[in-house]
C-alpha cells in the first residue's frame, strides 16, 4: 500500500492519538522495535510483585541462597535493635573489607539512601528505611544461580541489580525495589601460561599467559596469587575493588597502565550470562560485539560476567616507590605548588612513573612508582618540584623512597597492608566529579599552568565541603596504543595522561536539600574543565552521577555502536543502571520505559 506522505502529515496535525499510533508503527521497523514489549518493573507494593510462596519456590531453585536484604545498620535501629548484632555492625561499618561482605551495605553509604529515606549510623531511635537497598539478594555462587535469578527477574518484571563489591561511585550496584545478584563469593583464581580463547583454531593463536578470575575475586586476592605465580596483572590500586565486575568493564586504570594499557586492553575472554539467561563466551573469535562492548561499555549493562580472563605480564626486577608529603604553612602557596607539580607530569610519564597526587587545602601528598630504577633516578626526576618546595619558608616536605623486590611487596607495604585495613575509609557519603586530561595539555608550561589553575579554581568552588582533588597519572604510553576497534572505552582515554577527580563528602546529618546543593555545586564547578577540554571525557567509573551529556562524556564516538549492541543483546532492557548504555530509554528512576 502506498500512502502519500502529505496524507500522514494531515493526520498527524489533526489527530494527536494517531501520531502515537504512527510512532509505534514506525518504531516497529526501527531500532526501538522492542520498546512496546517493555513494561514498568513491579514494586513490592503492587499486585504483580511475586507472593511469598513464589519467592520461596525461587529460593529453592537457587539452593536456599536467597536473602531478605536490609540496610547495613538495620539491627542497630528500633524495632529491630539487637545488641550483639549491632556491636558487630559497629566494628565493621566504616571498613572497606567489611562492606563488600554485607548484602545491604555499599562502599559509599549515600547509595543506601533513596532521597531522604535510609538507615544510616547508630542512632537507635532514628528511623530506619529500606531506602535504595535491594529487597532480595541471591548470594550466587554458581552459573546456575545467576541464570535462574536472571530468568526470575525477567519473568516477573523485577528490577535487577548486579552487585560485586558495592564500590561503585554512581550507585550502580544497587537499586530500590530490586532483586540483587551478588557475585562476590565466586573466588576462582587459575593461571594458564598458554591460554587460547575458546573457539580459536589452535594454530591461529599463540597461547598467552593468563589469569582466570571468578566474578568475585578482589584485587588483593588476585595480586597475591599472581605474585605466587611470578607474574603481574593490570589492576586497581585498592585492595578491595573487584577484578572482573564494574572496574574492568568500565575501563580499569592501574599503576601498570602506562606499561601495559588499561584493564580492558588486557582482557582475553569473558563468560557472561545475558538477559535471555544463556551463558555466552565472548572473545576475539565468538560473540565479538559483546566482547567489544564488555571492554569499556560498563558493568551492569550487557549481562552478568561470571568469569574473566586477563593477560599476565612477567614481573619487574624491582619497583621503586616514592612517597612525598608537603604540608603548607601558607595556603596561598598551593596554586604555585600545583602548577609546579603539573609541569612535571609529562616528564614523569616519560620516565616510566605512575601514581596518584592528592591536593587538599593545606597539603599535597603523592605516591608514585617506577620499575627497575634506583633512588638516584628518583632524586633527579623529582628535583624540580622538591627543590622548589625546600626553598619555601614555612613548608614541610617529607620524602620517602624505597625499592621493593616486587609489585606485591610494594602493595603489601602500602595500600594492602594490615595497617591500612584498620583505617576507616568507607561507609561515608561520597560523590565525585572528574575529567580526563589530554597529554597535549601537559606538554608545554603555558598549557600545564592553565590546567593547574583551572583545577584549583574548580577546587576552590568546593570549599566548605572538605575539598580534595586527586590527580592520577595512570594513562599515556601503553594506554595510547589501544583503539576503538578493540575496546569501547571513551577514545579520550587514548589521548589522556591523567585523570583529575574532585571528591565531595558530607556527614549523615546533612539535609536532603543541602546534599542536593553540594551535588549541584560539584557538577557546576567542574564546568571549568568541561569547557577547557571539550573534546575530552570523564572516566565512567569515577564520574559525576549528574554528568551532563553523559553518553558523550563517558563513551564519545563509541556510544552509537554500544547502544546497538545493547539493544541486540538485551532487547527488553533487563539490565539498567544509572547513566549506563541504554538507560535513556527508561524513566529517571529506571522503573518504566520512557514513552516518547
- Interface residues toward ligand NAG, by CB under 6 A: 59, 64, 66-68, 103, 123, 125-126, 139, 141, 185, 391-393
H or E segment to which residue 232 belongs: strand 231-232
Task: Quote the CA–CA distance of 534 and 542 in Å, as a whole number.
Answer: 18
Q: Contact 60/152 with Cβ under 8 angstroms?
A: no
165 makes contact, choosing from ligand FAD, ligand NAG, none, with CB < 5 to 8 Å by partner type, with ligand FAD
Name which of ligand FAD, ligand NAG, none residue 576 binds, using a CB cut-off of 5 to 8 Å depending on partner kind.
Answer: none
x/- map, 222-241, ligand FAD, by CB under 6 A: --------------xxx--x
Q: Which phi and psi angles does 164 have, rounded to 5°?
A: -115, -95
Q: Segment near ligand FAD (CB under 6 A), from 158-166, 276-284, 511-519, 526-534?
A: 158-166
* Window 536-565: residues binding ligand FAD (CB under 6 A): 541-542
Sign of the Cα torsion 450, 454, 460, 465 reads: negative
Which residues, in sequence order, are bridge partners of residue 305? 272
Nearer to ligand FAD, 244 or 448 (CB): 244
Residue 219 backbone phi and psi in degrees, to 5: -65, -40
Q: Is the previous residue joined to 79 through a cis bond, with omega within 30 degrees of 0? A: yes
Nearest to ligand FAD of 101, 511 (CB atom): 101
The H or E element spanning position 418 is helix 418-421
Q: Which region among 121-129, 165-173, 190-198, 360-368 touches ligand FAD (by CB under 6 A)? A: 165-173
252 binds, among ligand FAD, ligand NAG, none (CB under 5 to 8 A by kind): ligand FAD
Binding of ligand FAD by 162 (CB under 6 A) = yes
* Using rule CB under 6 A, residue 300 touches ligand FAD: yes
| Residue 151 three-state SS | helix
Q: Are strands 304-311 and 178-182 parallel, antiparallel or unpaired?
A: unpaired
Give the pairing type, strands 304-311 and 319-327: unpaired
Closer by beta carbon to ligand FAD, 226 or else 456:
226
How many CB atoms lie under 10 A from the CB of residue 362?
12
Q: Which does 134 bind (CB under 5 to 8 A by kind): ligand FAD, ligand NAG, none?
A: none
Shortest Å distance, C-beta 216 to ligand NAG:
9
Binding to ligand FAD (CB under 6 A) within 82-121 occurs at 107
Task: Compute the distance between CA of residue 386 and CA of residue 344 in angstroms, rounded to an integer.
Answer: 11
Question: By C-beta, is 82 or 193 nearer to ligand NAG?
Answer: 82
Could you tell me if 326 and 397 are in contact, meaning their C-beta atoms sit under 8 angstroms apart?
yes
25 or 391: whose CB is closer to ligand NAG?
391
Min dist CB 106 to ligand FAD, Å, is 7
Q: Which does 578 bind (CB under 5 to 8 A by kind): ligand NAG, ligand FAD, none?
A: none
Site for ligand FAD in 168-227 (CB under 6 A): 168-169, 172-173, 183, 215
All three cell numbers of 477: 604510553
Would you give the DSSP letter of residue 405?
A: S
**Based on CB atoms, which residue is closest to ligand NAG, 392 or 397?**
392
Q: Which does 173 bind (CB under 5 to 8 A by kind): ligand NAG, ligand FAD, none?
A: ligand FAD
Q: What is the C-alpha separation between 95 and 93, in angstroms, rounded?
A: 6
Relative to beta strand 136-139, strand 66-68 is antiparallel
* CA–CA separation, 354 and 258 (whole Å): 7
Q: Which does 123 bind (CB under 5 to 8 A by kind): ligand FAD, ligand NAG, none?
A: ligand NAG
Whole-angstrom distance, CA of residue 545 vs CA of residue 542:
9
Residues that bind ligand FAD (CB under 6 A): 107, 162-169, 172-173, 183, 215, 236-238, 241-242, 244-247, 249-253, 299-300, 304-305, 541-542, 577
Amino acid at each position: 500500500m502506498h500512502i502519500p506522505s502529505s496524507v500522514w502529515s494531515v493526520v498527524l496535525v489533526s489527530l494527536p492519538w494517531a501520531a502515537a499510533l504512527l510512532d509505534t508503527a514506525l518504531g516497529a521497523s526501527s531500532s526501538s522495535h522492542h520498546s512496546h514489549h517493555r513494561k514498568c518493573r513491579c514494586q513490592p507494593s503492587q499486585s504483580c510483585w511475586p507472593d511469598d510462596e513464589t519467592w520461596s519456590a525461587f529460593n529453592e531453585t537457587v539452593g536456599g541462597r536467597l536473602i531478605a536484604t536490609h540496610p547495613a545498620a538495620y539491627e542497630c535501629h528500633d524495632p529491630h535493635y539487637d545488641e550483639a548484632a549491632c556491636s558487630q555492625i559497629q566494628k565493621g561499618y566504616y571498613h572497606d573489607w567489611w562492606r563488600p561482605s554485607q548484602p545491604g551495605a555499599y562502599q559509599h553509604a549515600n547509595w543506601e539512601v533513596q532521597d531522604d529515606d535510609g538507615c544510616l549510623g547508630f542512632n537507635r531511635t532514628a528511623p530506619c528505611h529500606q531506602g535504595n537497598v535491594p529487597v532480595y539478594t541471591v548470594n550466587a555462587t554458581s552459573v546456575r544461580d545467576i541464570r535462574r535469578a536472571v530468568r526470575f527477574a525477567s519473568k516477573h518484571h523485577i528490577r535487577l541489580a548486579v552487585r560485586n563489591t558495592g564500590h561503585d561511585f554512581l550507585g550502580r550496584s544497587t537499586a530500590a525495589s530490586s532483586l540483587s545478584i551478588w557475585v562476590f563469593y565466586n573466588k576462582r583464581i587459575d593461571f594458564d601460561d598458554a591460554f587460547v580463547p575458546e573457539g580459536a583454531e589452535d594454530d591461529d593463536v599463540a597461547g598467552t599467559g593468563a589469569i582466570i578470575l571468578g566474578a568475585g575475586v578482589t584485587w588483593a586476592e588476585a595480586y597475591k596469587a599472581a605474585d605466587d605465580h611470578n607474574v603481574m596483572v593490570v589492576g586497581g590500586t585498592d585492595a578491595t575493588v573487584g577484578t572482573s565486575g564494574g572496574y574492568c568493564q568500565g575501563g580499569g586504570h592501574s599503576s601498570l597502565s602506562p606499561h601495559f594499557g588499561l584493564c580492558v586492553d588486557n582482557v582475553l575472554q569473558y563468560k557472561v550470562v545475558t538477559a535471555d539467561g544463556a551463558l555466552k563466551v565472548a572473545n576475539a573469535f565468538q560473540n565479538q560485539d559483546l566482547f567489544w562492548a564488555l571492554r569499556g561499555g560498563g558493568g551492569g549493562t550487557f549481562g552478568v560476567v561470571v568469569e574473566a580472563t586477563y593477560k599476565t605480564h612477567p614481573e619487574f626486577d624491582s619497583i621503586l616507590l616514592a612517597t612525598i608529603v608537603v604540608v603548607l604553612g601558607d595556603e596561598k602557596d598551593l596554586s604555585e605548588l600545583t602548577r609546579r607539580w603539573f609541569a612535571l607530569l609529562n616528564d614523569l610519564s616519560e620516565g616510566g612513573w605512575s601514581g596518584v597526587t592528592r591536593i587538599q587545602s593545606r597539603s599535597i601528598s603523592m605516591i608514585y612508582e617506577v620499575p627497575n630504577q634506583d633512588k638516584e633516578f628518583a632524586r633527579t626526576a623529582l628535583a624540580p618540584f622538591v627543590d622548589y618546595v625546600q626553598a619555601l619558608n614555612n613548608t614541610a616536605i617529607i620524602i620517602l623512597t624505597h625499592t621493593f623486590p616486587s609489585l606485591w611487596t610494594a602493595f603489601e607495604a602500602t595500600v594492602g597492608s594490615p595497617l591500612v585495613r584498620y583505617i576507616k575509609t568507607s561507609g561515608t557519603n561520597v560523590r565525585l566529579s572528574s575529567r580526563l586530561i589530554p597529554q597535549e595539555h601537559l606538554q608545554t608550561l603555558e598549557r600545564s599552568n592553565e590546567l593547574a589553575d583551572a583545577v584549583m579554581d574548580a577546587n576552590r568552588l568546593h570549599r566548605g565541603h572538605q575539598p580534595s582533588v586527586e590527580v592520577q597519572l595512570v594513562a599515556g604510553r601503553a594506554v595510547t596504543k589501544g583503539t576503538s576497534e578493540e575496546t569501547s572505552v571513551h577514545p579520550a582515554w587514548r589521548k589522556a595522561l591523567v585523570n583529575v577527580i574532585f571528591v565531595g563528602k558530607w556527614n549523615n546529618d546533612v539535609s536532603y536539600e543541602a546534599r542536593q546543593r553540594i551535588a549541584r555545586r560539584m557538577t557546576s564547578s567542574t564546568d571549568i574543565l568541561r569547557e577547557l577540554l571539550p573534546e575530552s571525557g570523564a572516566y565512567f567509573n569515577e564520574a559525576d552521577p549528574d554528568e551532563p551529556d553523559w553518553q558523550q562524556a563517558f563513551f564519545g564516538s563509541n556510544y552509537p555502536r554500544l547502544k546497538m549492541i545493547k539493544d541486540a543483546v538485551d532487547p527488553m532492557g533487563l539490565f539498567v543502571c544509572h547513566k549506563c548504555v541504554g538507560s535513556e530509554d527508561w524513566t529517571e528512576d529506571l522503573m518504566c520505559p520512557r514513552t516518547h
